[in-house]
Amino acid sequence: MSQLEPHLILATDCGSTTTKAILIERQPSGEYRLVQRGEAPTTVEAPFEDVTKGVLNAVREVEEISGRTFISDDETIMRPEKDGKGCDIYISTSSAGGGLQMMVSGVVKSMTAESAERAALGAGAIVMDVLASNDGRLPHQKIERIRRLRPDMILLSGGIDGGTTKHVVELAELIRAARPRPRLGIGFALPVIYAGNKEARKEIEATLGEVVDLKNVDNLRPVLERENLGPARDKIHDLFMEHVMAQAPGYKKLMSWTDAPIMPTPGAVGLIMETIAKRDSIDLVGVDIGGATTDVFSVFSGVFNRTVSANLGMSYSISNVLAEAGFDNIMRWVPIEITEGELRNRIANKMIRPTTIPQTLEELRVEQAIAREALRLAFIQHKSFAVGLKGVQQERSISDAFEQTSSGQSLVNMMSLNLLVGSGGVLSHAPKRAQSAQMMIDSFQPEGVTRLAVDSIFMMPQLGVLATVNEKAATEVFEKDCLIHLGCCVAPVGSTKGAKGTVVKITGKSDKGKEFRLEVGAGELLLTQLELGESVKAVIEPAKGWDMGEGPGKPVERTLTGGVVGLVIDTRGRPLDLRRDTPDRVALLNKWSLG
């Protein structure tokens, strides 16, 4: 990279089906903005078996739209930008070829194994299985499982530094007995990262050194009270480049073009989330709902977590959503009456024709009902995983000081959540932005005051890897071009049972000089006008028994920002009590409809 302030940045994301290219340009004002985008089918599989062909096709579309030249005569990306040709920086992410698939193992399932899973998920991996000494499986079952899965790499952890080495060495012996082969690259040794008790390194090397490609990094849990995930995540990224990407068709050529290491797509999305949360000192939740999986990202109190719900999606995995949620839970969101058989048929048709989109309003309502349950279930899974460290001594009170806890508390605090970002076709491409806002409110049930946004064209992966090269450019484009700000949701916590009269009163003055006064009763979902760029310094007064974050009945002062949808006030209670047999359910859903 020849310049600290590059003029043109070209970035691509090689997805499993589509390769997307974006062009970012530094404006005369000095700010960075998205100027063009293009896409083309990914070409990692037969008959092409060269990922760079799809990349070049996507970049050619950008060339045609922008009138610039980025591809040289010998079909490589030209750099640096000169005389209207080439770019200053070229970067890429990838989830083509199935992405990064890992197996993790640790001595104690709820401690070191869970820390290993967090490290792998945070690096953008799909975790195929979690092995632990106490997971209830017999040694031969674990060996067979390792042998059959054929992951891209294994992360082995266990023990605090200076502790016992026996159990983690036993896990290494199981890996040695299995003699696992990598998914890609015949004849290559499987990469295994050891991130456990440093006292066991010599024994681990003696056990695995001749069987796998062993790499040592700092312990994930050097002491019980602290996680140290950074070194393991960095090594996962390095090995993803060296072993996984290097074996995929055309990736060696692509790696020679890029100015920063190629990152797994989910890892890059997580990185831009972390960057924004750190820069703005906010708590945020992001979700990417795809056809086969739903990824949930969160940053609370500076702690990043990511989960992959590999069985919850809107096309290939849509039948799993029905199986997990059940007919009644999906039907409670459908504002029409249909039979269970008809719902099952619609879902089966979507699964066998995954690229189809709803053609009628009725089909759209059913699909958005299914999306609510997929998002809700994925978030439940995320909250159960995004927890404080387990096995840590915590001071509770004088009477039970330093009581040992066997399970961590969830870090997810909806009342402190500042920003909720949605991504994926069903959210980003909903016919009306208000539908996206309502799906996120119904699924995540935010509390207090929460800003809502959607990713306009799913450019978060490219911005994530760009953040490693030029954070200013990544964050400016994220704010101004990537996010579409929908507005704020005001949701007091309380029960609608027996609630009468006004439950929340909002008063204030907008920065445009308009007086703002609103009183809302229980059981409402109201949309009021608050334009994009407009804000209100408001006093929000909840009724007795309702809480906006300072305690029941106590008023709070908050800045409410507008968006393309507006300001949403949700007084339906938390948790939202809606069942299929709720009286007048269809009438309620139509009354609550924001779009």
For 245-255, how does the pLDDT look when each residue is reduced to its tens digit (9 = 90+)?
A: 777 788 889 99
Residue 531 token pair: 């334009």
- Top pLDDT among 579 and 405 is at 579
Least confident of 1-10, 89-98, 125-134, 402-411: 402-411
| CA torsion, ordered 494, 496, 499, 501, to nearest 10 deg | 90
End residue of a domain, out of 96, 116, 150: 96
Determine, yes or no, domain membership for 502.
yes
DSSP label of 442: H
Is there a domain that residue 397 lies in? no
Q: What is the dihedral of CA 52, 54, 57, 61, to 10 degrees?
A: -120
Q: Which of 301-310, 414-423, 454-463 has the highest mean pLDDT?
A: 414-423
Which stretch of DSSP H or E encloses residue 167? Answer: helix 166-178
pLDDT in tens, 491-533: 999 999 988 899 999 999 988 888 889 999 999 999 999 999 8
Question: Is 294 domain-assigned?
Answer: yes
Most confident of 1-15, 507-521, 560-574: 560-574
Residues of the chain with pLDDT > 70, as a percent, come to 95
Exposed e or buried b per residue across 392-430, where buried means at least 16 C-beta atoms within 10 angstroms of its C-beta = eeeeeeeeeeeeeeeebebbbebbebbbbbbbbebbbeb
pLDDT tens digits, one per residue of 75-103: 999 988 888 899 999 999 987 766 788 99
Last residue of a domain, one of 62, 96, 130: 96
Burial class (CB in 10 A: 0-12, 13-18, 19+), 47: exposed
219 within some domain = yes
**pLDDT value for 400:** 36
The rounded distance, in Å, linking the Cα atoms of 438 and 436 is 5
> Are residue 491 and residue 467 in the same domain, yes or no?
yes
- Regarding whether 418 and 358 lie in a shared domain, the answer is yes
Q: Which helix (H) or strand (E) holds 486?
A: strand 483-491
Q: Averaged over 300-325, what is the pLDDT?
A: 90
Asked whether residue 255 is domain-assigned, the answer is: no
Instruction: Say whether both 168 and 79 belong to one domain.
Output: no
Same domain, 430 and 474: yes
Task: Return all residues near 237 (Cβ < 8 A) that are at least 6 apart.
Answer: 123, 261, 263, 264, 267
CA distance 169 to 79: 49
Q: Looking at residue 224, which CATH number applies to its domain?
A: 3.40.50.2300
**Taken in order 59, 60, 61, 62, is the CA torsion positive or negative?**
positive
Answer for the pair 113, 491: CB distance below 8 angstroms, yes or no.
no
- C-alpha dist (Å) from residue 292 to 264, 285, 355: 17, 20, 12
In this structure, the answer to whether residues 91 and 106 fall within a common structural domain is no
288 and 191 within one domain: no
Contacts of 571 (CB under 8 A, 6+ apart): 491, 492, 496, 503, 504, 520, 521, 522, 523, 524, 525
> What's the one-letter identity of residue 41?
P
For range 284-296, the mean pLDDT: 91
Give domain status of residue 318, yes or no: yes
Range of the domain at 170: 99-250
Contacts of 328 (CB under 8 A, 6+ apart): 579, 580
For residues 81 and 163, membership in a common domain is answered with no
pLDDT-based confidence at residue 17 (cuts at 50, 70, 90): confident
The answer, yes or no, to whether residue 186 has pLDDT greater than 70, is no
Checking if the pLDDT of 1 tops 60, the result is no
Q: What is the pTM of this model?
A: 0.86
Residue 22 sits in the same domain as residue 109: no
pLDDT per position as a tens digit, 121-178: 988 888 999 999 999 999 999 999 999 998 989 999 999 999 989 999 999 999 999 9
pLDDT greater than 80 at residue 3: no
For residue 278, name the pLDDT band (cuts at 50, 70, 90): very high
- Reported as a pLDDT band with limits 50, 70 and 90, residue 535 is very high
Please check whether residue 595 is in contact with residue 436, taking contact to mean a CB–CB distance below 8 angstroms.
Answer: no
Domain boundary, last residue among 65, 96, 127: 96
Structural domain includes residue 235: yes
Cα(64)–Cα(88) distance, integer angstroms? 19
Number of domains in the chain: 3
pLDDT band at 408; cut points 50, 70, 90: low
Do 474 and 366 have their domain in common?
yes
Nearest of 8, 45, 38 to residue 20 by alpha carbon = 38
Q: Is 414's pLDDT higher than 90?
A: yes
pLDDT at 399: 37
Q: Specify the CATH number for the domain of residue 58.
A: 3.30.420.40
Q: Is residue 50 part of a domain?
A: yes
Q: What is the pLDDT of residue 394?
A: 44
Segment 323-355, tens digit of pLDDT: 999 999 999 999 988 899 999 999 999 989 887
Q: What is residue 16's predicted lDDT score, i.e. its pLDDT?
A: 74
110 and 92, same structural domain? no
For residues 19-41, one letter each, b for 16 or more C-beta atoms within 10 angstroms of the residue's C-beta and e for the rest, the string is bbbbbbbbeeeeebebbbbbbbe
Question: Is the pLDDT reported for residue 46 higher than 90?
Answer: no
For residue 398, what pLDDT band results from cuts at 50, 70 and 90? very low
pLDDT, tens digit (0-9, with 9 covering 90-100), for 222-242: 998 889 999 999 899 888 877
Q: Are residues 224 and 153 in the same domain?
A: yes
Q: 228: which 2 tokens? A: 């140290």
Do 124 and 100 contact (CB within 8 A), yes or no? yes
- For the chain, the average pLDDT equals 90
Confidence band of 392 (pLDDT split at 50, 70, 90): low
Do 444 and 297 reside in the same domain of the chain?
A: yes
